[in-house]
Amino acid sequence: MAKYEILILNGPNLGHLGQREPEIYGSQGMDDVPRLVDALLADRAGDVALTFFQANGEGELIDRLELAREQGVSGIVFNAGAYTHTSLALADSLAWIGIPCVEVHISNVWARPETIRHQSFMAARVVGVIAGFGIDSYALAVAALMNRLEHS
């Protein structure tokens, strides 16, 4: 049994990674993440079990965060997509569930031309933010989260 249960949660428009705007989001999909995590964590890869969930609706994401709390999930890696920049409801949910969370972005949102992407309602409610490393951002977030969990 894995030492850590990590939920990888994806918001709207992230269900087609690898196909959607590859010039921004790359050509790899979520099915590549476990391999990337295993490669990055090497001898610690067996310590983590990953669960993936993607929803386009804000309510579904909040329901999944609440379920993660009920299930005793160790940590969350969360790419809320555009909801990062607009959803107080997701930020409120992260604030009360008490699960360490790393906010993830595939692109460097601060280099994007739309200034609304430069703000995050979630940032104050997470332990850290990783952005701009493509799909590797997820593996980096899992590794950072595991490190945080092991030293807290």
Domain positions in the chain are 4-150
Give the tens place of pLDDT for each residue, 77-105. Answer: 999 998 898 899 999 999 999 999 999 99
- pLDDT attached to residue 114: 81
Q: Measuring CA to CA, which residue among 81, 70, 30 is closest to residue 53?
A: 30
- pLDDT attached to residue 141: 95
**DSSP codes of every residue in 78-146:** EE-GGGGGT-HHHHHHHHHH---EEEEESS-GGGSS-GGGG--SSGGGSSEEEESSTTHHHHHHHHHHH
- Active-site option among 16, 25, 83, 138: 25
Q: Which carries the bigger pLDDT value, residue 143 or residue 152?
A: 143
- pLDDT attached to residue 26: 67
* CA atoms of 126 and 134, how far apart (whole Å): 20
Query: What proportion of the chain, given as a percentage, has pLDDT over 90?
Result: 55
| H or E segment to which residue 5 belongs | strand 4-10
The amino acid occupying position 30 is M
Answer yes or no: 83 catalytic. Answer: no
Q: Find where tokens 């959803």 sit.
A: 87
Rounded to 10 degrees, the C-alpha dihedral 32/35/99/59 comes to: 20
Answer yes or no: 151 catalytic. Answer: no
Q: Measuring CA to CA, which residue among 124, 25, 138 is closest to residue 79?
A: 138
- Active-site option among 16, 83, 105, 138: 105
15-24, 41-50, 115-124: the lowest-pLDDT one: 15-24
Q: What is the CATH number of domain 4-150?
A: 3.40.50.9100
Identify the sign of the CA torsion 119, 122, 123, 125: positive
